[in-house]
């Protein structure tokens, strides 16, 4: 994730640990000082509520109180330009746009479902510009193009621009669009590839030209790029390479079937007209020997990080070399056996590690240069997603 260094325009005031410089000093004002702050999606440990918090990305990493809270848990927050967005996922299927000038009352809110029986389960939104974005669904076959520049909630016909049918990549459970980004004018979409029984089939990278909404031929066959890893969940792009984390097949809930180590980290070279990939880290290797649930790669230092998934709420943070694929023999100090929700790298080359905890939910910020601890940011609920704002005001 890219973010510029945050410069505070207002003086710090003496307030509680949960009310920092990212929030207004006027308790009746819903505005947030967010010049390139971190936008943190939070969910309660009992999965009954959610909210967003905003924090500085430089010392003293002060954090706001809750905003845009709901009594729903499958909710994530995203940011683009001078706005942030609340996305309701499974069974909610809506999207709301907020200004940092009013973090409580949405500018607009729309359903992205076609009708009451439709459950697209949006996993993320990828923004091309202020007027063009794509909602990536996990549960249906259509990628939804939207116009986020509509000014209120009464412009449904202008909001939904197009629905792109990619049912040819479905295994009966929707296309499973789990991640996406825009690079060099193209939209890259990670397709999870599970069937209706949640058995991993073929994960893929789909590439779309937003200027035409046509699929881009990346392998000479006119089709999306087939990946080696199964159940692809996360990806990061650095330079001309995409790093994809596949988690394989989870163990059965009753314990009768163990996890299937068919994932890992796949490195895809997208510099040429025909993509090439290598299995950089095999989850079945002795150095890992567990599922891999996330990946983040530094654009410098030749360092990268993976989330090793041992069991539910039992994860390790482990370094690996993004060139050779060599994996550290042990987890980062202090990051073993934790509930690691997500990891992100900011523009200051710091790794943000979101930790779920019923008593002490928090984000640990680490210097990638020397692996030292930079800050601990306490959150009200469990942090589950981190995005870095790129505001202009």
Closest CA to 258 of 310, 316, 313: 310
Q: Which one, of 187, 299, 202, 291, lies nearest residue 241 by Cα? A: 299
Distance (Å) of CA 123 to CA 26, 177, 366, 374: 34, 7, 27, 30
pTM score? 0.92
What is the rounded CA–CA span in Å between residue 308 and residue 236? 16
- The torsion angles phi and psi of 39, rounded to 5 degrees, stand at -105, 115
**Whole-number pLDDT of residue 36:** 83
**Beta strand pairing call for 350-356 and 339-345:** antiparallel
Do you find a cis peptide bond into 60, omega within 30 degrees of 0?
yes
Q: Where are the beta strands (DSSP E) in 166-290?
A: 177-183, 186-191, 204-209, 214-215, 225-226, 232-238, 241-246, 264-269, 276-282
| Phi, psi of 242, deg, nearest 5 | -110, 135
Say how far apart CA 263 and CA 257 lie, in whole Å: 17
What CA–CA distance (Å, rounded) separates 296 from 191?
18
Alpha-carbon distance of 242 to 276, in angstroms, equals 10
Cα–Cα nearest to 244, from 285, 191, 287, 316: 191
Cross-strand partners of 385: 41
Sequence spans of domains, the chain:
184-338
CB 237 within 8 A of CB 219: no
pLDDT digit string, tens, across residues 168-207: 999 999 999 999 999 999 999 999 999 999 999 999 999 9
pLDDT in 10s for each residue of the chain, 393 residues: 333 333 333 333 333 333 344 544 444 589 998 888 999 999 999 999 999 999 999 999 999 999 999 999 999 999 999 999 999 999 999 999 999 999 999 999 999 999 999 999 999 999 999 999 999 999 999 999 999 999 999 999 999 999 999 999 999 999 999 999 999 999 999 999 999 999 999 999 999 999 999 999 998 888 999 999 999 999 999 999 999 999 999 999 998 999 999 999 999 999 987 899 999 999 999 999 999 999 999 998 899 999 999 999 999 999 999 999 999 999 999 999 999 999 999 999 999 999 999 999 999 999 999 999 999 999 999 999 999 998 765
Structure tokens belonging to residue 191? 């397709």
Q: Does domain 184-338 bear CATH number 2.130.10.10?
A: yes
């Amino acid at each position: 994730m890219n973010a510029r260094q945050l410069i505070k325009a207002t003086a710090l005031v003496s307030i509680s640990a949960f009310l920092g410089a990212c929030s207004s000093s006027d308790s009746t004002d819903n505005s947030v000082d967010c010049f390139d702050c971190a936008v943190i999606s939070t969910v309660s440990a009992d999965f009954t509520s959610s909210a967003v918090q905003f924090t500085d990305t430089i010392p003293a990493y002060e954090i706001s109180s809750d905003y845009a809270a709901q009594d729903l848990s499958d909710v994530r927050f995203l940011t683009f330009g001078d706005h942030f967005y609340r996305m309701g996922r499974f069974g909610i299927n809506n999207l709301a746009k907020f200004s940092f000038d009013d973090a409580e009352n949405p500018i607009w809110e729309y359903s992205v479902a076609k009708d009451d029986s439709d459950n697209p389960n949006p996993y993320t939104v990828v923004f091309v510009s202020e007027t063009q974005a794509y909602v990536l669904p996990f549960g249906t076959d259509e990628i939804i193009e939207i116009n986020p520049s509509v000014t209120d909630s009464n412009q449904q016909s202008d909001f939904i621009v197009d629905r792109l049918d990619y049912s040819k990549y479905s295994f009966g459970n929707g296309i499973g669009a789990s991640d996406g980004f825009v690079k060099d004018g193209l939209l890259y979409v990670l397709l999870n590839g599970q069937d209706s029984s949640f058995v991993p089939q073929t994960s893929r990278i789909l590439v779309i030209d937003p200027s035409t909404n046509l699929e881009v031929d990346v392998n000479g066959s006119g089709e999306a790029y087939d990946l080696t890893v199964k159940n692809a969940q996360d990806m990061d792009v650095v330079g001309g390479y995409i790093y994809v984390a596949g988690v394989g097949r989870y163990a059965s809930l009753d314990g009768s079937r163990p996890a299937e180590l068919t994932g890992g980290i796949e490195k895809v070279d997208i510099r040429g007209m025909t993509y090439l990939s290598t299995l950089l880290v095999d989850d079945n290797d002795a150095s890992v020997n567990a599922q891999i649930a996330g990946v983040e790669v530094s654009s410098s230092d030749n360092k990268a990080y993976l989330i090793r998934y041992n069991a539910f709420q039992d994860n390790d943070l482990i370094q690996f070399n993004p060139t050779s694929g060599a994996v550290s023999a042990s987890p980062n100090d202090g990051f073993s056996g934790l509930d690691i929700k997500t990891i992100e790298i900011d523009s200051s080359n710091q790794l943000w590690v979101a930790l779920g905890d019923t008593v002490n939910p928090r984000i640990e910020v680490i210097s990638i240069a020397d692996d030292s601890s930079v800050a601990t940011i306490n959150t009200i609920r469990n942090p589950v997603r981190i995005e870095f704002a790129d505001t202009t005001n």
